[in-house]
């Protein structure tokens, strides 16, 4: 598969497009005025402990307090003693009120950015990522990415970490001598690490001892610098933040199958070539500076695709379509045949539409960055084999998704339920805001409905106050309807209340806005 990364940089924002076979699959946006907080480490202060929810609210210096659940708690605060350890190395389960108290300082990391009315989701299980590893300062265990499924490679990588850490501590020389390798049985006798745990990322597959060791050294030095900063930063305050978007993409998303990386900023191009020289020299030649007159993201009609990704309706090539509705609770996706009538029979038409929809849905989830609970309403299929094939097509299409996705079976109502890990705002939440006219409902009252509301309001006003005449100030659409289609009703109302009613159009009013002025 031909995969390219396009990086568009301006002083105001950075946009990164992941393109596969010429088609936009993912889009990342980071704005200078509103950088995301995921991965940032804060020294926070407990504002409130909620025993009933087994959670706490933490002031980390953002607009809203962060939310820390007991399941994300190590049991260790900056000024508290750790909870006791059990025989299995895990912390004993204690109620949150026994570990935290109001005013306490605590070190936390952001798991999820604030979404809607919710504050950031926090954890005390800190992690710091590099190219091949994730460092866990409070852990002593070693893990390997589940995407590395070769058993021999998993064991080789584990041994690389263990031997590197033994050499750092000087124990390797004591066990085997300075020039001899560590035997596997020795590594097995030391399953826990001394200076923190590690998770080997998917990118570590096939890496050499020197490359892994270089990452370990970098992470230890970074954690030492963070530890020194923890001592001096007042709460609430930030002690560590992740790399900017362009460098995060180089670290997390660039792999050996990438065809090329195009960057339209010379300054960013120079930074990323330096980053590649230090951490991924084999990919350095694939990084190119784009200096063409045509805007970079117009090369693959990406600007148009971004606009389409904000629409509810997604057109399928066959003539069918999807309707995507995103709410705070969940996202629903409805599949429809539309203009597609097929060539054989109804069941075959439905089956083909659902198959195409499964692929389109997987792409839309990545492109729009939809997370949380997602309900898909495929068109009902009578044949169980067709339903199984559609579900398999959806699973296969989601295999390239870098976010964790869990899919359930088809329900008795023909619905597919899935969850997709949400760590940042969706594309709609980044680019849009709640409509001031409909307040997020997605609909507004018709002009006729507003006119009838005005009639009822006039009757209430006349009964309550003494006025010689009334002036109705409303939108142009409502005024036009009262003068034209409802002119007879206005005449009847004037006769009933025995007062004249005048109308004035206000261009700045929305269709639902109006005001009745007594004169």
Domains of the chain with CATH codes:
3-35+243-303 (3.30.420.60), 41-83+93-123 (2.40.50.140), 128-240 (3.30.230), 312-428 (3.40.630), 447-518 (3.40.1260.20)
Please list the residues that pair with 115 across neighbouring strands.
118
Residues 274-309: pLDDT tens digits?
Answer: 988 887 888 889 999 999 888 999 888 899 999 999
State the Cα–Cα distance between residues 213 and 375, nearest whole angstrom. Answer: 44
Q: Does residue 173 carry a pLDDT above 80?
A: no
Q: Does residue 72 carry a pLDDT above 70?
A: yes
Within a 13 Å sphere around the CA of 410, how many CA atoms are in the beta-carbon half? 21
The Cα-based distances of 368 to 26, 174, 427 in angstroms read 8, 54, 5
pLDDT given for residue 343 in this prediction: 61
**223 Cβ contact list (under 8 Å, min separation 6):** 128, 135, 137, 196
What three-state secondary structure class fits 65? Answer: coil
Strand locations in 90-131 (E): 105-112, 121-123, 128-129
Q: Does residue 446 carry a pLDDT above 90?
A: yes
DSSP state of 444: -
pLDDT given for residue 262 in this prediction: 95
Q: At what angle do helices 209-232 and 151-169 cross, to 10 degrees?
A: 60
State the Cα–Cα distance between residues 429 and 439, nearest whole angstrom. Answer: 15
State the Cα–Cα distance between residues 116 and 429, nearest whole angstrom. Answer: 8
pTM as predicted: 0.76
- Environment class of 107 (CB within 10 Å of its CB; exposed 0-12, middle 13-18, buried 19+): buried
Residues 232-272: pLDDT tens digits?
Answer: 999 899 999 888 899 889 888 887 778 999 999 999 999 99
pLDDT given for residue 85 in this prediction: 44
Residues 361-383: pLDDT tens digits?
Answer: 999 999 999 999 999 999 888 88
Q: Which of 389, 334, 342, 329 is nearest to 360 (CA)?
A: 334
Residue range 191-211: mean pLDDT, rounded: 80
> CA gyration radius for the chain?
30
Residue range 390-416: mean pLDDT, rounded: 87
The average confidence (pLDDT) of the chain is 85
The Cα-based distances of 460 to 61, 464, 482, 483 in angstroms read 49, 6, 19, 21
Q: Does residue 433 carry a pLDDT above 80?
A: yes
Contact yes or no for 126/109 (Cβ under 8 A): yes
Q: Which of 355, 305, 389, 361 is nearest to 27 (CA)?
A: 305
Please give the structure tokens belonging to residue 419. Answer: 């969850």
Among 341-345, 348-352, 363-367, 413-417, name the one with the lowest average pLDDT.
341-345
State the Cα–Cα distance between residues 318 and 342, nearest whole angstrom. Answer: 9
Please give the structure tokens belonging to residue 495. Answer: 């006769």
Neighbours of 483 (CB within 10 A): 12
Residue range 137-162: mean pLDDT, rounded: 87
State the Cα–Cα distance between residues 225 and 239, nearest whole angstrom. Answer: 10
State the Cα–Cα distance between residues 451 and 479, nearest whole angstrom. Answer: 8
């Amino acid at each position: 598969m031909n995969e390219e990364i396009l990086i568009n940089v301006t002083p105001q924002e950075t946009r990164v497009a992941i393109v596969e076979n010429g088609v936009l699959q993912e889009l990342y946006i980071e704005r200078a005025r509103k950088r995301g907080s995921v991965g940032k480490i804060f020294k926070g202060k407990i504002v409130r402990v909620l025993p009933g929810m087994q959670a706490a609210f933490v002031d980390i210096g953002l607009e809203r307090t962060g939310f820390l659940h007991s399941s994300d708690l190590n049991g260790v605060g900056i000024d508290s003693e750790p909870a006791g350890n059990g025989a299995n190395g895990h912390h004993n389960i204690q109620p949150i009120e026994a570990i935290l108290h109001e005013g306490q300082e605590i070190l936390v990391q952001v798991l999820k950015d604030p979404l809607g009315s919710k504050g950031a989701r926090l954890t005390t299980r800190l992690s710091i990522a590099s190219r091949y590893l994730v460092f866990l300062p409070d852990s002593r265990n070693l893990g390997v990415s589940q995407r590395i499924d070769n058993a021999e490679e998993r064991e080789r990588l584990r041994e690389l970490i263990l031997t590197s850490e033994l050499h750092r501590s000087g124990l390797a020389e004591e066990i085997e001598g300075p020039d001899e390798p560590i035997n596997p049985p020795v590594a097995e006798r030391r399953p826990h690490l001394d200076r923190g745990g590690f998770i080997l990322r998917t990118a570590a597959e096939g890496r050499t001892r020197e490359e892994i060791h270089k990452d370990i050294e970098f992470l230890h030095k970074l954690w030492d610098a963070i530890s020194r900063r923890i001592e001096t930063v007042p709460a609430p305050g930030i002690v560590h933040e992740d790399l900017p978007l362009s460098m995060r993409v180089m670290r997390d998303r660039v792999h050996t199958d990438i065809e090329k990386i195009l960057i339209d900023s010379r300054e960013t191009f120079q930074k990323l070539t330096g980053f590649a020289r230090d951490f991924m020299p084999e990919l350095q030649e694939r990084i190119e500076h784009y200096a063409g007159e045509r805007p970079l993201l117009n090369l693959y009609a990406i600007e148009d695709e971004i606009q389409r990704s904000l629409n509810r309706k997604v057109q399928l090539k066959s003539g069918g379509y999807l309707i995507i509705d995103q709410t705070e609770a969940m996202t629903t996706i409805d599949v429809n045949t539309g203009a597609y009538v097929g060539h054989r029979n109804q069941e075959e038409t439905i089956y083909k539409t659902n198959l195409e929809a499964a692929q389109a849905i997987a792409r839309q989830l990545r492109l729009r960055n939809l997370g949380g609970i997602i309900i898909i309403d495929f068109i009902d299929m009578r044949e169980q084999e067709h339903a199984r094939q559609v579900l398999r097509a959806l699973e296969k299409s989601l295999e390239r998704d870098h976010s964790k996705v869990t899919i359930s079976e088809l329900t008795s109502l023909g619905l597919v339920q899935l969850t997709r890990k949400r760590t940042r705002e969706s594309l709609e939440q980044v680019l849009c805001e709640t409509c001031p006219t409909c307040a997020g409902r997605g609909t507004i009252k018709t002009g006729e409905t507003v006119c009838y509301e005005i009639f009822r309001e006039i009757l209430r006003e006349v009964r309550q106050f003494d006025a010689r005449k009334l002036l109705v100030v409303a939108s142009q659409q409502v005024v036009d309807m009262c003068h034209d289609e409802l002119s007879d009703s206005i005449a009847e109302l004037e006769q009933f209340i025995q007062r004249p009613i005048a109308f004035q159009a206000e261009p700045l009013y929305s269709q639902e806005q109006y005001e009745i002025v007594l004169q």
